[in-house]
Amino acid sequence: MGPSNASHLFYAVVLAIPLVFTGCGDTKPADTKKAADKGADKGGDKGADKVPDKVPDKPEPPPVDSSKTAERAFANTSVPPPPDWKGPVFELSHDYPKERPTCSSPWLQREVKFEAGGTWDQWAPYIQDIVDYVKEGQDPNLANEIGWRAKIETTGGEETRWFHVPWMAYDGHQGREFVHGLTNELSTARSTFTGRGGGLHTLPGAPPDALYETWSVGFYNPCGGWSIGQQWPASGEPATYDEGGRMLARGMPFPEGTLVVKVLNTTANGDDVPYLKGSTNWQADAHVQLGPDKYETCKRVVREVHLVQIDLAVVDSRSPTRWVYSTLVYDGTMEGETIWDRMRPLGVQWGNDPGTFPAVPEGESKPLSESIAAPINIHEHYGCQKRLAGNVDQSNSSCLSCHMGAYAPAAGTAIEQGTNVPAIFTFDGMCTTNNAANANYFSNYLYPAPFPGSAGAVAAAMPLDTSLQLQVAFGEYAKFVAPPSNPSCPPAG
């Protein structure tokens, strides 16, 4: 669930940027229940970490055209379907819970080891509990005409199980397409699909210079949806507040019981990548392909994309970061009647292993103790020093280290990686050298701590509790209130 190969402009949220701060080190998890009680008037739980004593003056947000704000914030798609379109049409799920719900979270009752000595056998039932919750009410084969159901049937009747983040349909280049609400992440090179290790995969059908687009969509369960609704009310403008001279977003951090799902699809097919045979055949209004590694920037056309990866993340107060991440990968070589039967977990991660290279010198490096790989031989996909990462994620990052860098500047301010938010997609020596940047990037810290080692505007950035999708929402809102002079594509609307 780290940054997609190259990077996640849209999330990385994907979803998936790198960099500097003083390390917070291993921190004990906050008491989530007490934090929730204490922070209820602000719309979210509070963490225990201090904010910087001095931060730069916050810029005044530019005036907003309130008559259009909500319309653009909660738009379904960047480009609407043509009048003669007969296929599925995406609808944003944004009727967020008004009161903080209690969410079924059987994985939280599992006894698992959050320190050295844990095994995959111990963690496998925990991840299976999450998978069972996620696939409840979904079509067994995630058929194109059905897609992903936001509303599902349960024993208690119909319920809205999944919610989307607003503002992700504003960008003209990467914003939500109209069939399944997918957003475009940067593309995946052919070499990424061949694996990272013994070279078990060969791709005889793929051109040597092939580049495949990734199209993804993320969902939050009711506990996560409540947080989103607190932060993005019906006005479409972000709800923030000042605490100790630092701006924070309402509804943060996500309460325990939150579950996040991200479904990643690729334009590669089973001929290009043999282990994708039998995967889904979703339609997506994707970019027109000009050649093996070339795509139009703005012009789109409906084509097929195929499920390659499903990312999972849950809040668990026992974790040193409050989060547990896992990634499922589609494996067409497995037997099974349904798509879900052929989704297999790559592993689990609950910390960044700050005692392992490159966070420390190689001579002082300890074996991983906060990331466990599942015992599978087909998919050799992992992140930095074998920390968890997915099939189409960067090999020099990891799921958690990337997503923990989700911060935003003051509302209405354009996001500049490394200037007013942490740079988490790339930096000097990323994963290859023991330096301060890697030590900060692969450290453990809790909401609302500033990014480790940061100063100035980066230290003052609003923490978004690992949600790169929410970072995108702040970024697109900023483009709405202060349109860039030269956008790569015209914005929606």
pLDDT of residue 46 exceeding 50: no
Longest dimension (CA), the chain: 64
Average model confidence (pLDDT) across the chain:
87
* pLDDT range class, residue 391, cuts 50, 70, 90: confident
Which pLDDT value is given to residue 442? 98
Binned at pLDDT 50, 70 and 90, residue 64 comes out as: low
At residue 23, the 3 state secondary structure works out as coil
Using the predicted structure, report yes or no on whether residue 23 has a pLDDT greater than 80: no
Going by C-alpha positions, the residue among 263, 276, 391 that lies closest to residue 333 is 276
User: Quick check: 128 and 374 in contact, CB under 8 A?
Assistant: no
**pLDDT at position 378:** 57
Q: Looking at residue 376, what is its pLDDT? A: 78
Could you report the per-residue pLDDT of 430-465, keeping only the tens digit for each?
999 999 999 999 999 999 999 999 999 999 999 999
For residue 65, what pLDDT band results from cuts at 50, 70 and 90?
low
What is the H or E stretch that residue 289 is in? strand 282-291
What's the DSSP call for residue 275? G
Q: Which residues contact 250 (CB under 8 A, 6 or more apart)?
A: 42, 43, 44, 230, 231, 239, 240, 241
pTM, rounded to two decimals: 0.88
Q: How far apart are CA 175 and CA 77, in angstroms?
A: 7
CB 191 within 8 A of CB 199: no
Assess contact for 1 and 403: CB atoms under 8 A: yes
Name the pLDDT band for 59 (thresholds 50, 70, 90). low
**Which region among 11-20, 316-325, 376-385, 412-421 has the lowest average model confidence (pLDDT)?**
11-20
What is each CA distance from 210 to 49, 186, 272, 385, 392, in whole angstroms? 46, 14, 9, 26, 14
| Those residues with Cβ within 8 angstroms of residue 37's Cβ, 6 or more apart along the chain or in another chain | none
Helices in 32-119 by DSSP H: which ranges?
Answer: 32-39, 66-73
**Nearest C-alpha neighbor of 314 from the set 392, 399, 217:** 399
- In this prediction, residue 42 carries a pLDDT of 55
Query: What pLDDT sits at residue 117?
Result: 86
pLDDT of 56 higher than 90: no
195 or 74, which is more confident: 74
Q: pLDDT tens for residues 200-220? A: 556 666 777 899 999 999 999
- For 335, other C-beta atoms within 10 Å of its C-beta total 6
Q: What tokens does 78 get? A: 């960047």
Give the pLDDT score at 67. 76
In the predicted model, what is the mean pLDDT of residues 340-346?
Answer: 95
Cα 112–Cα 135–Cα 234 angle in degrees, nearest 5: 100
pLDDT in tens, 237-252: 999 999 988 999 999 9
Over residues 120-159, the pLDDT tens digits come to 999 999 999 999 999 999 999 999 999 999 999 988 899 9
pLDDT at residue 48, rounded to an integer:
38
Contacts of 67 (CB under 8 A, 6+ apart): none
Give me the pLDDT at residue 190, please.
82
> Mean pLDDT throughout 391-418?
94
CA-derived radius of gyration, the chain: 21
Measured CA distances, 481 to 171, 237, 460 (Å): 13, 10, 21
Res. 174 pLDDT band, cuts 50 70 90? very high
Task: Give me the percent of the chain exceeding a pLDDT of 70.
Answer: 84
Task: Provide the 3-class DSSP secondary structure of residue 215.
Answer: strand
pLDDT in tens, 85-111: 999 999 999 999 999 999 999 999 999
Per-residue pLDDT reduced to its tens digit, 255-274: 999 999 999 999 999 999 88
Query: Percent of the chain beyond pLDDT 90?
Result: 74
